[in-house]
Amino acid sequence: MLLCFYYHRLFLFKPSFSNIVSSLKYSSRTPTVVRYRAQSKKLITQKIDTPEYRTLLTPTLLKLAELFKINKYELRVAGGAVRDILMGIQPHDVDFATTATPEQVKQMLTEANIRMINANGEKHGTITARIDDKENFEVTTLRVDVVTDGRHAVVEYTQDWQLDASRRDLTINALFLG
């Protein structure tokens, strides 16, 4: 199992974010965050097997993750939930990024008999899955801006995590946890 973070810009929300996480790996069955310190050019390793991390692993989230794994698409937690885990806060809103296109996501969910709600986000690449009538998860396809006016964009889908991270508005939104 591989867990990864990507980043684009550097915002100082808290001292621990002064060197944004560049990747996360699964080592000895314990999630480990690897940080790159730009000043010293060293990698710093930190274990993240925390209660906050473990709260993510609900049966509904694992069901969604397994569906993507079976269909050979990457699915990663994105943004604020990752920030919350790193800050020791239990995440309440878990959003995902994926390499699957919206059409592929819809096909997978339909075949797995998982309900989709709120079709408004589809034009931006977001499909909302309602798992077992318990939890909603927004799943957004990786994308790049083709044309933008700063607020609205015409997007093109990609499978490149770093390209997607570079288009996001904040460093926190460009953090991904697999």
How does pLDDT run across 20-62, given as a tens digit for each residue?
333 333 333 455 554 445 455 554 555 577 888 888 889 999 9
- The answer to the question of residue 161 being in a domain is yes
Q: What is the pLDDT of residue 50?
A: 82
Rounded CA gap, 72 and 98, in Å? 11
At residue 19 the predicted structure's pLDDT band, cuts being 50, 70 and 90, is very low
Is the full-model pTM beyond 0.75? no
Domain count, the chain: 1
- The answer to the question of residue 33 being in a domain is no
Rounded CA gap, 112 and 102, in Å? 15
- The answer to the question of residue 105 being in a domain is yes
- The answer to the question of residue 23 being in a domain is no
- The answer to the question of residue 45 being in a domain is no
What radius of gyration, in Å, describes the C-alpha atoms of the chain? 16
- The answer to the question of residue 148 being in a domain is yes
Residue 109's domain spans which residues?
A: 50-177
